[in-house]
């Protein structure tokens, strides 16, 4: 069922046909629609109009809301079903102008679902030369649930292969559940923060300064699990040397000074550690999808205890790839993560070194506030990773009172190819 699990931009015509040859059934996370629902035989879209009717809009978005309020799922439009219970994919009649319809539905979801569903994606997969094809709407399990459909003022939830109205009790229970889920995420970040500072203190002496960096990713879906983790290459935390650059042509090698180490098991996880007594670096993956890349480096002189921007971006980029690797392993390629970054200097102000080939960055920049806790970010598909890197780098410069906001690009596709192999 590659169409239901692989990234949207990787879905092919063959993936659509595979639904039919395999007779994939509808269920809690997949719904097929042969055509746009209509009270008059044909929806305006199929008649050539540039809009879809209210009935089609509401029935399709009911499914989107139901998935978001449950476990996420895929709405596939243009695939016919048979009469089995549950119904199975049986044909691919397609929908006209599928690419334009995919964008139209995404915008309708944005305007008609309250609150908006984060990380909602849609794509049209042409099956014919005239643009007729299939639309896939990918709905994540939402951290903002419960959602409601504004035109009907109803909340919906997925039950088996049906989308049904929620009762008031269900809405209240889901609200409490969501609040508890976010509290659990906050607690996990607090735990990782405390453990990171224990590590920094363990390598620091009274005469030394210690600079540290922590990049932590926590999945917002608490049901994600992989076991075993240690010794499992599908989820082992990668480290890939990367090269990145600004649109103005400034480049940097995104590597840390030392990364060779040894792999060892941790409680329900695996960890790669490099430790020489004066510095420690680790990358770790837990069975629940929590990922952390961190280091602490001690120096005798504060002037030598520098955090280089390329270290920061290299760590963030590799941690993002580790999260994506975990998502692929559990069959949830669009599962949302929360990203927290912390930079700290023990013994003085945080000092930021020059950046790669950037001539203006040869001087040291001082950030008095330490630890520097970056604003949390939401992590979606890999296509958004370069945008996240730009945000992180911009936050760093702004914290240092430097006006640097130009986009920064990293070739994540090439890095991903190196991780997964041929």
Output the DSSP codes for 222-246.
TT---S--TT-TTTPPP---EEEEE
Could you tell me if 227 and 131 lie in one domain? no
Cα–Cα distance list, 107 to 121, 135, 136, 203, 239 (Å)? 10, 14, 14, 52, 37
Query: What CATH number has the domain bearing residue 96?
Result: 3.30.950.30
Residue 175 resides in a domain: no
pLDDT of 172 strictly over 70? yes
Could you tell me if 78 and 134 lie in one domain? yes
pLDDT of 357 strictly over 50? no
Residue 259 resides in a domain: yes
Residue 198 resides in a domain: yes
Could you tell me if 26 and 155 lie in one domain? yes
Boundary (domain end) residue, out of 119, 135, 166: 166
pLDDT of 136 strictly over 70? yes
pLDDT for the residue 361 = 44
Residue 211 resides in a domain: yes
In this prediction, residue 257 has a pLDDT band, given cuts at 50, 70 and 90, of low
Answer yes or no: are the C-beta atoms of 9 and 123 closer than 8 Å. yes
pLDDT for the residue 359 = 37
Residue 370 resides in a domain: yes
In this prediction, residue 141 has a pLDDT band, given cuts at 50, 70 and 90, of confident
Could you tell me if 186 and 162 lie in one domain? no
Neighbours of 353 (CB within 10 A): 18
pLDDT for the residue 259 = 63
CA–CA dist 238, 380 (Å, integer):
19
Can you give the residue range of the structural domain that contains 61?
2-166
Residue 173 resides in a domain: no
Average pLDDT, the chain: 88
Q: Please report the sign of the dihedral spanned by the C-alpha atoms of residue 416, residue 420, residue 421, residue 422.
A: negative
For 51-68, write each residue's pLDDT tens digit: 999 999 999 999 999 999
- For the residues 266-273, what does the mean pLDDT come to? 93
Residue 82 resides in a domain: yes
Could you tell me if 219 and 76 lie in one domain? no
Could you tell me if 240 and 152 lie in one domain? no
Task: Please give the distance of CA 358 from its chain centroid, rounded to a whole number.
Answer: 30
Pairing of strands 73-77, 30-33: parallel
Could you tell me if 281 and 306 lie in one domain? yes
Could you tell me if 415 and 348 lie in one domain? yes
Count how many domains the chain has. Answer: 2
Could you tell me if 190 and 160 lie in one domain? no
Answer yes or no: are the C-beta atoms of 133 and 127 closer than 8 Å. yes
Boundary (domain end) residue, out of 166, 194, 229: 166
pLDDT of 360 strictly over 60? no
Residue 415 resides in a domain: yes
Could you tell me if 10 and 150 lie in one domain? yes
Neighbours of 372 (CB within 10 A): 20
Could you tell me if 162 and 235 lie in one domain? no
pLDDT for the residue 303 = 79
pLDDT for the residue 109 = 95
Could you tell me if 259 and 302 lie in one domain? yes
pLDDT of 330 strictly over 90? no
pLDDT of 94 strictly over 90? yes
Boundary (domain end) residue, out of 140, 166, 192: 166
């Amino acid at each position: 069922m590659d169409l239901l699990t692989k990234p949207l931009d990787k879905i092919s015509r063959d993936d659509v046909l595979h639904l039919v040859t395999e007779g994939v059934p509808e269920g809690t996370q997949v719904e097929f629609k042969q055509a746009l629902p209509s009270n008059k035989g044909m929806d305006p879209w199929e008649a050539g109009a540039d809009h879809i009717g209210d009935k089609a809009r509401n029935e399709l978005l009911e499914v989107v809301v139901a998935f978001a309020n449950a476990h996420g799922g895929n709405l596939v439009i243009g695939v016919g079903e048979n009469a089995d219970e549950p119904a199975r994919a049986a044909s691919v009649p397609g929908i006209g102008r599928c690419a334009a319809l995919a964008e139209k539905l995404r915008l309708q979801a944005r305007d008609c679902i309250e609150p908006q569903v984060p990380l909602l994606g849609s794509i049209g997969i042409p099956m014919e030369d005239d643009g007729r094809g299939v639309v896939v709407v990918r709905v994540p399990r939402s951290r903002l649930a419960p959602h409601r459909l504004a035109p009907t003022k109803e909340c919906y939830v997925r039950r088996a292969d049906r989308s049904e109205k929620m009762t008031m009790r269900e809405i209240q229970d889901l609200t409490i559940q969501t609040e508890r889920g976010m509290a659990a995420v906050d607690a996990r970040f607090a735990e990782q923060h405390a453990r990171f500072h224990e590590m920094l203190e363990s390598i620091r002496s009274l005469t030394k300064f210690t600079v540290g960096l922590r990049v932590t990713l926590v999945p917002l879906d608490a049901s994600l699990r992989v076991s075993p983790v240690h010794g499992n290459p599908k989820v082992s935390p990668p480290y890939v040397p990367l090269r990145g650059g600004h649109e103005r042509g400034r480049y940097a090698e995104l590597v840390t000074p030392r990364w060779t180490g040894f792999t060892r098991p941790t409680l329900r996880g695996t960890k790669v550690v490099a430790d020489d007594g004066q510095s420690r670096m680790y990358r770790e993956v837990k069975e629940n999808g929590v990922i952390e890349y961190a280091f602490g480096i001690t120096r005798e002189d504060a002037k030598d205890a520098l955090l280089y921007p390329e270290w920061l971006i290299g760590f963030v980029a590799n941690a993002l790839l580790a999260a994506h690797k975990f998502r692929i392993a559990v069959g949830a390629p669009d599962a949302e993560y929360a990203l927290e970054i912390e930079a700290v200097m023990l013994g003085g102000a945080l000092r930021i070194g020059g950046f790669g080939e950037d001539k203006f960055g040869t001087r040291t920049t001082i950030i008095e506030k330490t630890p520097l806790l970056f604003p949390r970010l939401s992590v979606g598909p890999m296509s958004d990773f370069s945008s996240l890197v730009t945000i992180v780098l911009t936050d760093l410069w702004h914290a240092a009172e430097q006006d640097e906001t130009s986009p920064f690009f990293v070739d994540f596709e090439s890095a991903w190819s190196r991780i997964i192999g041929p």
